[in-house]
Structure 1
Amino acid sequence: MSSEEESVDQTPPTCGLLGLLLKNRRPTGAVNEVWPDLFIGNAATARNKTLLQNLGITHVVNAADGPQHIDTGPRFYTDTNIQYHGVEAADCRDFDLSPFFSETADFIHGALSQKGKVLVHCARGISRSGTLVLAFLMIKEGLTLEEAVELVCRSRNILPNTGFLNQLCQLDSALHRRKIKYKMQ
């Protein structure tokens, strides 16, 4: 691989990503559509079944699932047609969210493939949910981390914690290596 090819798709450092995330910030609502039929929101949005119905939400990803966090769970939505996916994640830089990247990306992709609408939320809709949406865009839509950050930040202010940013950088590098390997075959 040439050094030119390496530098074109190189994952930006965490400080560069923070600069992108903090650039051009504007007021963000409780819920925002960041990709066609894919929304990021906060806990209040996830608990407002009328709002979810009005938005046409068919699937919910709770990135703060569990009794110690936002304990909605699948039972909370039994009186709706909403399908639920929970990720019990703490918003701390030492928590490894990366094992949930693929399964959550698969859930979101499956929902969107069925013409569904997905809400991904955590407590404030900034760190955990933002991280999972960025991972989806990278894994399923083929965006680089930088492209995914720029795209989401056009519609919503997100700010994954530094641990999650490092995990996304590792994912970006792994996906880049896979593309290079595929091209060489």
Structure 2
Amino acid sequence: MSISRVPGPDNLYVGGAWVLNTEAGRKKVREQNITHVLSVIKFSFEKWGEEVQRFKHMSIDVLDDEDSDLLVYFPAAVRFIDSGLNPPEEPETKGDGPSPGGVYVHCAMGISRSVSCVIAYLLYKYPHRFGAAQRRQTAKETVEKALVLVRQGREGVQPNNGFMRQLELWWEMGCPADDDSAVEQHPIYQKWLYERMLKESRDVHEAPNPEDIRFEDEVEQGKGVAEIEVNQKEGKEIRCKKCRRILATPKFVVPHVPTGRQESSNCAHVFIETLSWMRPALEDGALEGRLSCPNTKCGATIGRFAWQGLKCTCSEWVVPAFSLNRSRVDEVAPRRTDALTIRLPPGRNGSL
């Protein structure tokens, strides 16, 4: 496959590495006035001699593997592409107006890695084309729309499943690209990395290192900024049936039924996120075990955990699983004062 133009107002092209290694390909590059080359592969311009000076070049050395992390490079990649299409010395184009520069994005074959970076740029630059109003609800559909657009200019391209998922996360994050670490610092990316770590542990039949366990309630408290949550998530809070101690608020309850199906009232388990009160049960590194009420005056057995996952009575698997037995807990509507909370940085209310 030769060099292909991405449909749209920009002089944006995608293809394989061979284009840059043949005279015919080099001629095509010259004809398209390409000034910037993004190599999503380890690549050198040594064969170009002095002519290499006509290009600005960026290289991202990543394998075309579902487990490769391309997401973390998206901020740098989209800013590089944009600098070629809209040079700083030129007035930046607005809307869908034409751009002056030419950018070639390539990998080995121009099918997966390079196309992923092109899609990342389209989502970043033109979110209005793909449905910016509801990012999380439409992430999968949005990425597919962008892929369809690229295929109009280059048939048969298909990022691997891992990259497709990373593009969905990129969209859910809001395509942050203020600096190279914009993704790395994002909570969605950090949660994704944590889930990858858990999978690696499961693959070798081990529990994660206790020091690496992410307790979701501590993550919330650690945000360190004032925020107001109004009905953040509908649902019921979970309390110990014996002592009435709150075990989980609605935001930490994990749905465990496929999208589109209503959770069955016959489910014997309520699954929740990993919370800090579970620390004593998890710190010995066991793959599975019991969960007890954190109230020291109660200590009732209320459920179990299994890093390898558990199968609910409704036949759904939840991995990892932190399960509370419905016969041992009560599910109650949160008090109205719990529905509206204001979180302040430590010390603002006189306490730590």
Q: Map of 1:104-119 to 2, 5 A cutoff? A: 104-114=77-87, 115-119=100-104
Q: Residues 138 and 131 of structure 1: is their aligned pair in 2 closer, same or farther, counting only changes over 3 Å?
A: same
| Structure-2 residue corresponding to 1:31 | 3
CA shift for structure 1 position 59? 0.7
**One-letter code of the match for 1:72?**
S
Q: Map of 1:8-157 to 2, 5 A cutoff? A: 29-35=1-7, 36-47=10-21, 48-65=25-42, 71-73=43-45, 76=48, 78-80=50-52, 81-114=54-87, 115-142=100-127, 143=130, 144-157=142-155
Residues 11-33 of structure 1 deviation map (CA, whole Å, 9 limit, x = unaligned): xxxxxxxxxxxxxxxxxx31110
Residues 65-114 of structure 1 deviation map (CA, whole Å, 9 limit, x = unaligned): 2xxxxx32588564241110110110000100001111100000111013
SS in 1 for 2:6: strand
SS in 1 for 2:34: coil
Q: Residues 152 and 172 of structure 1: is their aligned pair in 2 closer, same or farther, counting only changes over 3 Å?
A: same
**One-letter code of the match for 1:160?**
P
**One-letter code of the match for 2:19?**
T
SS in 1 for 2:68: coil
Q: Residues 110 and 163 of structure 1: is their aligned pair in 2 closer, same or farther, counting only changes over 3 Å?
A: same
CA shift for structure 1 position 43? 0.9
SS in 2 for 1:79: helix
CA shift for structure 1 position 148? 1.4
Greater shift, 145-154 or 80-89, is seen at 145-154
Structure 1 unaligned residues grouped into runs of 5+ = 1-28, 66-70, 177-185
SS in 1 for 2:174: helix
Structure 2 unaligned residues grouped into runs of 5+ = 88-99, 131-141, 176-352
SS in 2 for 1:56: coil
Q: 1 or 2, which has the higher strand percentage?
A: 2
SS in 2 for 1:64: coil
Tell me how far apart the structure 2 counterparts of residues 109 and 77 of structure 1 sit (CA, whole Å): 26
Percent of matched pairs sharing the same residue: 30
SS in 2 for 1:154: helix
Q: 1 or 2, which has the higher helix percentage?
A: 1
Q: Residues 106 and 74 of structure 1: is their aligned pair in 2 closer, same or farther, counting only changes over 3 Å?
A: farther
CA shift for structure 1 position 149? 1.4
Preserved contact between residue 38 and residue 117 of structure 1 (Cα < 8 Å): yes
CA shift for structure 1 position 127? 0.3
CA shift for structure 1 position 140? 2.0
Tell me how far apart the structure 2 counterparts of residues 40 and 46 of structure 1 sit (CA, whole Å): 12
Q: Residues 159 and 84 of structure 1: is their aligned pair in 2 closer, same or farther, counting only changes over 3 Å?
A: same
Tell me how far apart the structure 2 counterparts of residues 73 and 98 of structure 1 sit (CA, whole Å): 25
**One-letter code of the match for 2:14?**
I
**One-letter code of the match for 2:33?**
G
**One-letter code of the match for 1:135?**
A
Over the residues paired in the alignment, what is the CA RMSD in angstroms?
2.0
Tell me how far apart the structure 2 counterparts of residues 57 and 85 of structure 1 sit (CA, whole Å): 14
| Structure-2 residue corresponding to 1:168 | 167
Q: Residues 77 and 83 of structure 1: is their aligned pair in 2 closer, same or farther, counting only changes over 3 Å?
A: farther
May I ask how many residue pairs the two structures share in their alignment? 143
Q: What stretches of structure 1 move > 3 A for 4+ residues in a row?
A: 73-78
Preserved contact between residue 143 and residue 164 of structure 2 (Cα < 8 Å): no
Query: Larger C-alpha radius of gyration, 1 or 2?
Result: 2
Q: Residues 125 and 166 of structure 1: is their aligned pair in 2 closer, same or farther, counting only changes over 3 Å?
A: same
Calculate the TM-score normalised by the size of structure 1: 0.71
